[in-house]
Structure 1
Amino acid sequence: MRNFYKDIVFFFIIFSLLLGDIILFSSLINEFFVHSETIIAGIIGFVGAILGGAITYLGVRLQLSHRDKEVFLSTATVRLDTLSLLDDKYSSFNGSAIVYSSYKQYMDAEHRILQTDRLIGEVIETIQQDRKVLMEVMGYSEFKEIINIKDSLYGMITNFGVQIPLTQDKS
């Protein structure tokens, strides 16, 4: 809304300058030309065209701003619901990782490594399955960050020599 007022002030200043110019030029025209009615009518038409263009510009700007708000509001509910479901899904992986790390004194190292590798494999597989949904609800930079995390997790698994039957999908 603040830009709207700036635009109004900007157009008011422009209009005032043009009006001052018109008054100055009309007095000069009256001095130099005898039949000044047609020239004054032309100037009035010119000012009317400028005002019409300014009003049209403001109307189009308001319409585009309103349309952007409508599109955002119509998609915001669906996006927030989808992001909430994804958050619940990926939070469960975080809970499992916390359980594995807090019970390390009760598990032998080999069993903990196998459980952790299985969990990482599930995370990678879930990211691959949810790829289309992630692309729809996230921006490009956030989606790219998730793909980078998936690739680094895949690299961790392959560096430890554990074979998980996944297809490496470079995005």
Structure 2
Amino acid sequence: MKKINEYLPYFVLVSVIMIDCIIFYSLMKVMDVFEKELIAALIGFVGSVLGGVITLIGVNATLKHRDRELFLNNATERLVALEQLIESLNGYSNSLFFYNTSEMDGTLKCRHVKRETKAFYEKLNSHKEMLYKNLEFDEIQIINFYQKTLTPLILKETLEEEEKEKCIEKVQSIFKVLIESKGNLEKKYYKYKKESKHF
């Protein structure tokens, strides 16, 4: 879909030129007029349209190059920030896995999971500004949704078994979004780096 949107303006422009040329040619044929002035006018028209197309392509290429350079200038900083956040949250994720798979009493297990989930939630909240700077808006929306659904669970005095599983699932989902975001950022970085060498 993105490719179609990218090439659609060119397709429309070429189509309009072709239709204009056909109409122009048909009128000249019907009127039986092929004078030098009309042919010169047609050549001038086609030349101006081609000039416009070349300008459009040039501007588009320049804008893409500028976007690529802007991204590459701050990509390393964004990757480092995401890496640090993932590392700081990884301990909570590991603790949740440990408590959930341990042989301890169910009530005690729920208490530990609630405590770790709350700590994870607070740590994530303290990095909200960093998230908004380094993640895509739709990724932030997904994280915010999971956080909102976690809020009533961590405010409860005690968790039931089903609620404990929901806590773990939501924390894992948030963690997955962060990992995928970092992966996407790395892919885009290497793609743009490769493209900038050929520009």
Asked if TM exceeds 0.5, the reply is yes
5 Å matches for 1:8-27?
25=28
Q: Radius of gyration: which is bigger? A: 1
Higher relative contact order (CA 8 A, sep 6+): 2
What secondary structure is seen at the aligned counterpart in 2 of 1:160?
A: coil
Aligned equivalent of 1:144, options 141, 145, 151: 141
Q: Write the letter of the residue equivalent to 1:88.
A: E
Partner Cα separation in structure 1 for residue 67 and residue 58 of structure 2: 14
Q: 5+ residue gaps in structure 2?
A: 160-199
Judging by fraction of residues, say which structure has more helix: 2
Identical amino acids, percent of aligned pairs: 25
Residue aligning to 1:132: 129
Cα deviation per residue 1:56-96 (whole Å; 9 max; x = unaligned)?
11211222222232233233322222222221122111111
CA contact under 8 A between 1:97 and 1:119: conserved in structure 2? yes
Q: 1:146 to 1:43 in 2, by over 3 A?
A: closer
Q: 5+ residue gaps in structure 1?
A: 31-35, 163-171
Q: 1:42 to 1:94 in 2, by over 3 A?
A: same
CA contact under 8 A between 2:114 and 2:154: conserved in structure 1? yes
- The two structures have a TM-score, normalised by structure 1, of 0.66
Cα deviation per residue 1:8-53 (whole Å; 9 max; x = unaligned)?
88877776776676667399434xxxxx555554444333322221
Cα distance, 1:132 vs structure 2: 0.7
Partner Cα separation in structure 2 for residue 64 and residue 28 of structure 1: 46
Cα distance, 1:129 vs structure 2: 0.5
- The two structures have a TM-score, normalised by structure 2, of 0.58
